[in-house]
C-alpha cells in the first residue's frame, strides 16, 4: 500500500558521530525529496553531461536544510546560509567529503520504498 508523502524534517546523525557524546554530535536536518525534486535532478542531467557525483550533490543541495553543532577548526559554530529552502554550494563546500557521502546515503535510504510498502 502506498503511503502519502511525508513533509516533516528528519534529523540525521552520521554513523561516524554516533559513538560520540550527544553534545559532540553534528545533527543534519534533511527534508524528504518529492517528485518535483527528483524531476529537477533528472532534467538537469538528462543530456548525460553531469557526472554521478554532481547528481549526488544536487540531491544533497535539495534535501539538506540546516544543521546543529557543526563546528569549524576553532570550535565556532558554522553558519548554515541556505537559499529558498535549499543548501547553497557554499554550505556544501563546508562539509567534509566523508560526511557528504553519509548524508547522501541517508537521503537515498529515506527515499527507498520498503518491502512492506511494495507489497512483499
- pLDDT tens, position by position, 54-105: 888 888 999 999 999 999 999 999 999 999 989 999 999 999 999 999 999 9
**Does residue 4 lie in a domain region?**
no
pLDDT at 32 over 80: yes
Alpha carbon distance 61, 23 (integer Å): 26
Going by the DSSP 8-state scheme, the letter that residue 83 receives in this structure is B
The answer to whether residue 39 sits within a structural domain is yes
Instruction: Indicate whether 3 belongs to any domain.
Output: no
**Which residue would you say has higher pLDDT here, 37 or 82?**
82
73: in domain: yes
What range defines the domain where residue 103 resides? 10-17+24-111
49 vs 29, residue with greater confidence: 29
Task: Provide the mean pLDDT of the chain.
Answer: 85
1 has a pLDDT exceeding 60: no
Residue 114 has pLDDT above 90, yes or no: no
Does 5 fall in a domain? no
In a domain, 99, yes or no: yes
CB of 102 closer than 8 Å to CB of 60: no
Task: Give the span between the Cα atoms of 41 and 55, in whole angstroms.
Answer: 7
User: Helix (H, G, I), strand (E, B), or coil: what is residue 16?
Assistant: helix
Say whether pLDDT at 112 is over 80.
no
Q: Total domain count for the chain?
A: 1
- 8-17, 78-87, 105-114: least confident range: 105-114
pTM beyond 0.85: the answer is no
Residue 1 included in any domain: no
Amino acid at each position: 500500500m502506498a503511503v502519502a508523502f511525508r513533509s516533516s524534517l528528519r534529523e540525521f546523525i552520521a554513523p561516524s558521530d554516533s559513538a560520540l557524546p550527544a553534545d559532540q554530535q553534528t545533527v543534519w536536518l534533511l527534508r524528504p525529496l518529492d517528485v518535483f525534486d527528483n524531476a529537477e535532478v533528472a532534467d538537469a542531467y538528462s543530456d548525460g553531461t553531469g557526472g554521478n557525483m554532481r547528481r549526488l550533490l544536487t540531491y544533497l543541495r535539495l534535501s539538506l536544510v540546516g544543521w546543529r553543532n557543526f563546528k569549524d577548526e576553532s570550535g565556532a559554530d558554522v553558519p548554515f546560509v541556505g537559499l529558498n529552502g535549499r543548501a547553497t554550494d557554499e554550505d556544501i563546500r563546508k562539509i567534509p567529503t566523508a560526511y557528504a557521502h553519509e548524508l547522501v546515503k541517508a537521503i537515498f535510504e529515506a527515499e527507498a520504498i520498503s518491502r512492506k510498502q511494495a507489497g512483499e
